[in-house]
Amino acid sequence: MLSDRDADEIARGRANGVGGPLIGKWVDQLLADRKERVAQIRYLRQRLKQAFTYLDGLLEGRKLPAVHCPRCGKPYMRVSGLSPNGMVYFHADRTECRLEPMNGRAHDR
């Protein structure tokens, strides 16, 4: 993701009228940053929908079905994000499964 320092450098460069090939580099950086932010927002929206379903179920007094780990298939108690866009699934038996899609692999721990 583009750091605040990089973004400030781009803003300063544009304000000072910098042109040429540097503009292409900045556009590439901004597009990569946008792609990453869109992925983060998509993930956040998915988690918000899950949270809504869970909380709405509590209000309705519904017994919620167990949620299953996509890695091992066992129910999990809790899940948390793993920067930049991985997931860690925590099981009742204190094992964890990690999914790290950035490198295309997943592994148990």
In the complex, which residues of this chain contact Zn ion (CB under 5 A)? 69, 71-72, 89, 97
Measured from the CB atom, the residue of 40 and 91 that comes closer to Zn ion is 91
CA–CA distance from 68 to each of 38, 65, 90 (Å)?
26, 9, 10
From the CB of 79, what's the least distance to Zn ion, in Å? 10
72 half-sphere exposure, CB direction, 13 A CA radius: 15
From the CB of 86, what's the least distance to Zn ion, in Å? 13
From the CB of 87, what's the least distance to Zn ion, in Å? 10
Measured from the CB atom, the residue of 10 and 97 that comes closer to Zn ion is 97
Strands 78-82 and 105-108: what pairing? unpaired
Measured from the CB atom, the residue of 47 and 71 that comes closer to Zn ion is 71
102 half-sphere exposure, CB direction, 13 A CA radius: 12
